[in-house]
Structure 1
Amino acid sequence: MKNTPGPIAYNYTIPLKYHLLFWIVYYLFNTIRWGGYFDDYLYSAKSNLVSFFVSILFCYWHIYFLIPKYIVRKKIIPYISWMVLSSVFFYFLKTGMIYLFIDKTIWPEAPEGQTAPGFNHFITVVLGELYVVAFVSAIKLTIDWISVKNQRDELQKLQLQTEIKYLRAQIQPHFFFNTLNSLYALTLTKSDNAPRVVVKLSEIMQYVLYDVQEPDIHLTREIRYINSYVNLEELRRGNVELSLSIIGDIEDIKTPPLLFLPFIENCFKHGGSVDEEMHIDITFKSLPGDNSLHFLIKNTINPEDDSIKPKGGIGIQNVKRRLFLLYQNNFILQTGIKRQCFIAYLKIPVSA
């Protein structure tokens, strides 16, 4: 049987000291208020002590039993029935305690006093208790709502971090697999470039395994990594022409690590055979006051490769998903093909 999520549990525990503080303030406020109103502070202190006790029982009965059992489960009719019964019970409890311990006149505030329960007295007492119950319940529900919201925010943040790590992990094995294949081909031909590939690969592995564990990294380090990656492909192909332009001051700019790698990978994946010359133009631009990083890459492609049409290659979908997780809709990504060149433009907000 498939498990379905149940109602949210209102189980946040409020420290005891806050319970005590609230009820002490509530008791003192009512004692001073009614004592001053009737000019009898002693009676007010005694009668409010009874009300204080009954209010505590009614409030906790409501917030810890009736709300979780009926309101949260949307059982409105049973909730109303229980509230009516509870109101009657606590009315007689309060009235009886006042009659036994305080004064035979259970409602001295009435014009002629009152020594027996009555409808008007019932309405007055119950409305007063419901006022306190509603006030305390509002506080408790607000605290529960904040607690649940914080838990959901933490869970959403954790899920976001997990998915971003997963998308990053998809990039790294793919890159290392391609590089090792290239190294294998060079060793078969006993190429003099094989040792240089090993050195470059070790530099990149150090970057990927140790330097990109933070959520953001300096753009200059990312560019050095891109250069190392392109150098590896140059060693393998021997006919790569790279033009890298930096416009503006990027020294203090930080970006998510490995964000631009899929675009670089696509250059070599769809750039034709190893016998064809490849041109890659990369531009990073950051203008003063813009608070954005502009990334533009253009590379020649194999016109017979249909896998990059119309969305720009497999890795681009990975990039789009990661960009959405990082920036929601606060980014621009445009890709297209023009004159046998694949062009990608990316604009993201940056932090220093």
Structure 2
Amino acid sequence: MKKTVRFLYINIILHVLIWGLVLSLPYLISSAENEYKIGPVPGLFFSLAGCLHLFIFYFNAFFLIPGLLNRRLWWVYIPASALLIIGSFQLKYHMLLWWFPEVLKDMAAYKFVFAPSIVVFIISIVYRKVLDKLQYDRLQQKIKAEQLSTELKFLRSQISPHFLFNVLTNLVSLARKKSDQMEPALIMLSDLMRYSLYDTQIVKVPLAKEMAYLNNYIALQRLRFGDDVDIQYHTGQNIENENYTIEPMLLIPFVENAFKHGTGYLENPVIRIHVSIKNDQLVFEVENQIDQKPGASKDESSGIGLANVKSRLDLLYKDRHDLKIKTDKGMFHIVLTLMLK
């Protein structure tokens, strides 16, 4: 909104300066002894005709074109334009006849008197077309931004139910074991839900918050699996630098995917997660074993998280990220490289 108002003010100031310069031109480049003439045209007539040109310019640009031409009312616009030009000719002729009859005797002056009406009319058409193009581009950008916002809200809305299902499964497992870790697990779940429900509504969050979310999630998984799964989680020293921001809930789908497909009936499962930052570039690696037996996919929602995060990366980090996914010898490995600044 502020940019639009600023653009409007700048536009008005430029128009005032340009027309002020045009109307005062005879008095800037000529002298009183020469009647402020520009060529054969007296300064006073030049200024009066300038006012008429001003009317032609704005009447065509802001009334005739938007009201008639842009609505494809050619049969009305063409005669209205002709009437505007012819009317200006008549008005100029009578001004010369009443106040400057000597100019009418000079046939060479006619092109300086009447031609500017046509030139200004053409310039007003060009100006209107440029203005319409700028307005169209701004509208398209606004529509694109709204579509992006809507799509992101939809993608984010897919995350919370999927995540909640996984965490509740973890807590059920702890409850069955009658674990003493149930209370701290519930506290961690509370922090996780607060983050996923409230903090993710903003465009970007501090990287430290995203990492705290990831830490709590992995802690819950450690409580759930104990020594049954070898969880190797390492982070760099400056990973929680408050100067960095990131799209919320961007990293967790990769980790969810690793625990979904890297546990279960696998023998001695290992999940490796490594996060580091170098030169304002986040490097996020997740590696897990996979069950290569046919039909080993756990449920119909498999792949939703990864497809989701790929869409968000394309929307928000286009040309600023690199995602490598590979499967080799029973290991699923992803490497996400993300420019944070």
Structure 1 counterpart of 2:190, from 197, 202, 205: 202
Deviations 1:318-351 (A, max 9, x none): 1111001112233211212112111111111112
Of 270, 280, 287 in structure 2, the residue corresponding to residue 298 of structure 1 is 287
**Structure 1 residue aligned with 2:20:** 24
Distance 1:266 1:301 in 2: 10
Taking structure 1 as the reference length, the TM-score comes to 0.77
Deviation (angstroms), 1:17: 6.9
Percent pairwise identity = 28
1:87–1:126: 8 Å Cα contact kept in structure 2? no
Preserved contact between residue 266 and residue 291 of structure 2 (Cα < 8 Å): no
Q: Which of residues 149, 160, 163 in structure 2 aligns to 1:161? A: 149
Which sits farther off after the overlay, 312-321 or 260-269? 312-321
Match of 1:268 in 2: 259
The answer (yes or no) to whether the contact 2:234–2:274 under 8 Å persists in 1 is: yes
Match of 1:285 among 267, 276, 287: 276
Question: Using a 3 Å threshold, how does the CA distance of structure 1 residues 219 and 99 change in structure 2: closer, same or farther?
Answer: same
C-alpha distance in 2, partners of 1:92/1:109?
17
Q: TM-score, normalised by structure 2?
A: 0.79
Match of 1:232 among 209, 220, 223: 220
| 1:117 matched residue in structure 2 | none
SS at match of 2:292: coil
For residues 331 and 16 of structure 2, what CA distance do their matches in structure 1 show?
72
Q: Distance in 1 between matches of 2:66 and 2:12?
A: 20
CA distance in 1, matches of 2:16, 2:322: 54
Aligned counterparts of 1:313 and 1:17: Cα–Cα separation in 2: 56
Question: What is the match of residue 107 of structure 1?
Answer: 104
CA distance in 2, matches of 1:246, 1:147: 48
CA shift digits 1:300-321 (9 cap, x unpaired)? 122235549xxx8221111111
Aligned to 2:324: 334
**Residue deviations 1:170-222, cap 9 Å, x none?**
21221112222433454456444433321221121233334444433343432
The 1-side partners of 2:251 and 2:280 are apart by 18
**Structure 1 residues 231 and 274 mapped into 2: Cα distance closer, same or farther (>3 Å)?**
farther
Secondary structure of the residue that 2:101 maps to in structure 1?
A: coil
- From the superposition, tell whether residues 221 and 103 of structure 1 become closer, same or farther in structure 2 (CA, over 3 Å): closer
Output the amino acid matched with 1:300. Answer: Q
RMSD over equivalenced CA pairs, Å: 3.5
2:286 & 2:313 partners in 1: Cα distance? 17
Find the counterpart in structure 2 of residue 7 from structure 1: none
Q: Deviations over 1:95-128 (max 9, x none)?
A: 123313x1234535546x8xxxxxxx3x554421
| Corresponding residue SS for 1:41 | coil
Distance 1:46 1:221 in 2: 70
Q: CA deviation at 1:69?
A: 4.2
1:148-175 CA-partner distances (Å, limit 9, x unpaired): 4344334433432332233222212211
Unmatched tracts of structure 1, length 5 or more: 1-11, 114-120
Q: Which whole-Å deviations, capped at 9, do the CAs of 1:257-306 have from their partners, x for residues lacking one?
A: 2111110111122224278543111122333xx44222111011222355
1:77-96 equivalences under 5 Å are: 82-96=80-94
Q: Report the number of matched residues.
A: 324
CA distance in 2, matches of 1:218, 1:103: 74
| Whole-angstrom CA distance in 1 between matches of 2:31 and 2:179 | 100
Q: In structure 2, what residue type is equivalent to 1:340?
A: G
Name 2:4's counterpart in structure 1: none
Q: 1:58 to 1:226 in 2, by over 3 A?
A: same
